[in-house]
Amino acid sequence: MTTLTLDIPTDEPVIRFERFVAAPPELVFRAMTEAEHLPHWWGPRGTRMRACEIDLRVGGSYRFVLAAGQDEAAFHGTYREIDPPRRVVQTLVYEGAPDHEAVETMTLEAVPGGTLLRGETRHASLGARDDHVASGMEGGMRETYERLDELLATLRTLSPAT
């Protein structure tokens, strides 16, 4: 199992993380940005992605809807920067708190044996960041990235994108 390292500074409205993934950056990038792959890993165990819409271009948008039993949670945002397979910057809005837009930056760095995935979610305020953390974000994030590992193990046997 790979360790997720979280950094939640007390004086800054950010959540940072770092995690090793045993797959090359190109494959990790595809798994993180292609609608055919995201429903297989994005979200904690016990959820399923009911909707996955992606317009992967600067200025394009995305929307995901997760379902767990009768409960649903929807998220959307706009892509600000895309540099395959190294970096994506996008906004993030949990539709249950639509006034709390955050900016997520994800970087992928090739390292021996795989990819070092680094992320930062920058909120507009400490209160919005603290609400995000209090939502169970850490456990959900750990499960989500474990699910990504499981998907990547199957994708390594597929042919590269054409």
10-residue block means of pLDDT along the chain (162 residues)? 87 98 96 97 96 98 96 97 98 95 98 97 96 93 96 75 46
Sheet with 71-83: strands ordered across:
4-7, 14-21, 114-122, 102-111, 87-94, 71-83, 61-68, 48-54
Instruction: For residue 37, tell me if it sits in a domain.
Output: yes
Instruction: For residue 56, tell me if it sits in a domain.
Output: yes
Instruction: For residue 141, tell me if it sits in a domain.
Output: no
Q: Tell me, what's the pLDDT at 159?
A: 46
79 within 8 A of 88, measured Cβ to Cβ: yes
Kindly report the pTM of this predicted structure.
Answer: 0.92
DSSP state letter for 42: S
Domain that holds residue 66: 17-136
89 within 8 A of 33, measured Cβ to Cβ: no
Q: Could you tell me which of 103, 143, 121, 117 has the C-alpha nearest to residue 27? A: 117
41 within 8 A of 148, measured Cβ to Cβ: yes
Q: How far is residue 128's CA from residue 122's CA, in Å, rounded to a whole number? A: 10
Q: What is the CATH number of the domain that holds 106?
A: 3.30.530.20
Instruction: For residue 160, tell me if it sits in a domain.
Output: no
Instruction: For residue 158, tell me if it sits in a domain.
Output: no
Instruction: For residue 107, tell me if it sits in a domain.
Output: yes
Q: How many domains does the chain have?
A: 1
Q: Tell me, what's the pLDDT at 156?
A: 73
